Amino acid sequence: SAFVQAIEAANPSLNAYVTELPEKAIAMARQSDERRAKGEGGVLEGAPLGIKDLFCTEGVRTTACSSILGEFTPPYESTVTSNLWREGAVMLGKLNMDEFAMGSSNETSRFGDVTNPWRRNDGNNAKLTPGGSSGGSAAAVAADLCLAATASDTGGSIRQPASLTGTVGIKPTYGRASRYGMVAFASSLDQAGPIAKSVKDAALMLNVMCSHDDKDSTSLKVAQPDWTKAVGAPVKGMKIGVPKEYRVEGMPEELEKLWQQGIDWLKDAGCEIVDVSLPHTKYALPAYYIVAPAEASSNLARYDGMRYGVRKEGEGLSAIYSNTRAEGFGAEVQRRLMIGTYVLSAGYYDAYYLRAQKVRTKILQDFQNVFQEVDALLTPTSPSTAFALGELSDDPLTMYLNDVFTVTANLAGLPGISVPVATDHLGLPMGLQVIGKALDEEACFKVAAQLE
Ligand code: GLN
């Protein structure tokens, strides 16, 4: 009830939830109480959660914040969310996001911008972005409108909003969380993960969200440790790599200092710090912005006005397709579809898509090389703190630069966590990122907990 009331009070200004489910939440909570009274119950019994609007929820509108999905109400549940309900969690509602998860500022949603609950402390009261694409998830957690939230990360959409809102977000190794019932953006990069108030909460959420799933052909069949055990475990003797290519030009001095601070803290805790090089890092962003739109153009071909959501009539099939897609998709999604279709087209495929896939292999090899030597990498999460809404919305190229530190982990399929470490001179949160070896989320949790 407290969370339902908090949402009612704060959501009109934050716009974090796009669907509020007060009655459903109270009913789920009552059932949870009953289970507990009988001495039954799961590990998330009664925990009120928010769900990013790209996880299909049975009987609850799911739109990926795109007009093209209209009032689409899935007849089935995503694996990630059913795992949560099985353990007793309560659904407060569906959370705002960039349309189809394309964006870094939550300004491309059909439901409008999300406002970051944080403001600058210098009297400039400009509304700030919570980051994106999981801006609703991050803002809701930061503003205590849920205990934790689900999110998804294709190029940084869990970690960057976590960094901009002072929350913890982890993207697990590709294949840990099932993509079944998640609206697809770029299938070889998409991974689900939590945004939470603490490293421990994130570990608990990830424990439940991940599972092997026959319904997702890329789901891994591997042992899953209890990640909460890694939180607070000693880091002494761990080797932490600091990649020199992440010292990008134009990074605010305060972020540089924060990074150094993190390095010093880990050194004090007994870690060995190793300077490392990931030489292909500079190609990661261009490769990502070829691979992701290419996969998106294929995944989003299904929105044709026939099978889902809205249809705009026209003279003949082709007119129906184009009218539906011209009206149903926003500007950023259309931009990605044009890029994606272009890089896959005959004559350009070799020059762009194939080349980007080769670069992707090089980036993976860079990581494999340094992970022969170190246990985890420490970097900033985002090159900036929260910026003002509207500041970059007309400047896609600068917007894409926001993902410079996060896309590498997606291209290589590695786990990455963002942990809030300090605030800058304007009082805005800044996060650091820990990237681990494939399947070594434990190292991410250990190091993040040390920095928390
Ligand atoms: N900002 C990146 C993009 O727009 C990443 C988004 C994501 O991780 N879903 O593609």
Task: Parse the chain into domains and list their residue ranges.
Answer: 2-230
> Ligand 1 — pocket residues by CB below 6 A?
101-104, 133, 153-157, 185, 292, 403
The strand pair at 148-153 and 48-52 is best described as parallel
Cα dist. 185→155, 190, 292 in Å? 11, 7, 8
pLDDT digits (tens, 9 = 90+) for 343-365: 999 999 999 999 999 999 999 99
The reported pLDDT for the residue numbered 251 is 87
Q: How far apart are CA 400 and CA 395, in angstroms?
A: 9
Burial call 36-51: b when 16+ CB within 10 Å, e when fewer: eeeeebbebbbbbbbb
Q: How far apart are CA 51 and CA 145, in angstroms?
A: 12
Architecture of the structural domain at 2-230? Alpha-Beta Complex (3.90)
Nearest atom, ligand 1, residue 154 CA: 8
**Annotated catalytic residue: which of 32, 52, 211, 384?**
52
Helix (H) or strand (E) holding 208: helix 199-209
pLDDT digits (tens, 9 = 90+) for 201-215: 999 999 999 999 999
Distance 233 CA to ligand 1 centre (A): 32
Cα dist. 95→110, 418, 450 in Å? 12, 20, 30
Output the pTM of the full model.
0.98
The reported pLDDT for the residue numbered 250 is 84
Q: Is 38 a catalytic residue?
A: no
Average pLDDT, the chain: 97
The reported pLDDT for the residue numbered 32 is 97
Q: How far apart are CA 285 and CA 356, in angstroms?
A: 10
Residue among 52, 53, 54, 98 to mutate when testing ligand 1 (max atoms within 8 A of CB): 98
The strand pair at 239-243 and 168-171 is best described as unpaired
The reported pLDDT for the residue numbered 249 is 85
**Could you give the ipTM of this predicted complex?**
0.97
Cα dist. 383→158, 247, 408, 421 in Å? 15, 10, 14, 15
Beta bridge partners of 416: 171, 435
Q: How far apart are CA 324 and CA 276, in angstroms?
A: 49
Q: How far apart are CA 179 and CA 25, in angstroms?
A: 24
Q: Is 133 a catalytic residue?
A: yes
Token pair recorded at residue 104: 């870094």
Is 243 in a helix, a strand, or coil?
strand
pLDDT digits (tens, 9 = 90+) for 352-411: 999 999 999 999 999 999 999 999 999 999 999 999 999 999 999 889 989 999 999 999
- Helices (H), ranges, 402-440: 407-412
Q: Is 393 a catalytic residue?
A: no
pLDDT at residue 307 is higher than 90: no
pLDDT digits (tens, 9 = 90+) for 229-262: 999 999 999 999 999 999 988 889 999 999 999 9
Q: How far apart are CA 83 and CA 42, in angstroms?
A: 10
pLDDT digits (tens, 9 = 90+) for 60-113: 999 999 999 999 999 999 999 999 999 999 999 999 999 999 999 999 999 999
pLDDT at residue 309 is higher than 90: no
- What is the number of residues in the chain? 452
Nearest atom, ligand 1, residue 185 CA: 9
The reported pLDDT for the residue numbered 397 is 87
Distance 441 CA to ligand 1 centre (A): 21
pLDDT at residue 315 is higher than 90: yes
**Annotated catalytic residue: which of 32, 66, 137, 157?**
157
Which amino acid does the sequence have at 294? A
| Environment class of 139 (CB within 10 Å of its CB; exposed 0-12, middle 13-18, buried 19+) | buried
The reported pLDDT for the residue numbered 279 is 98
The reported pLDDT for the residue numbered 308 is 81
pLDDT band at 184 (very low <50, low <70, confident <90, very high): very high
Percent of the chain with pLDDT over 70: 100
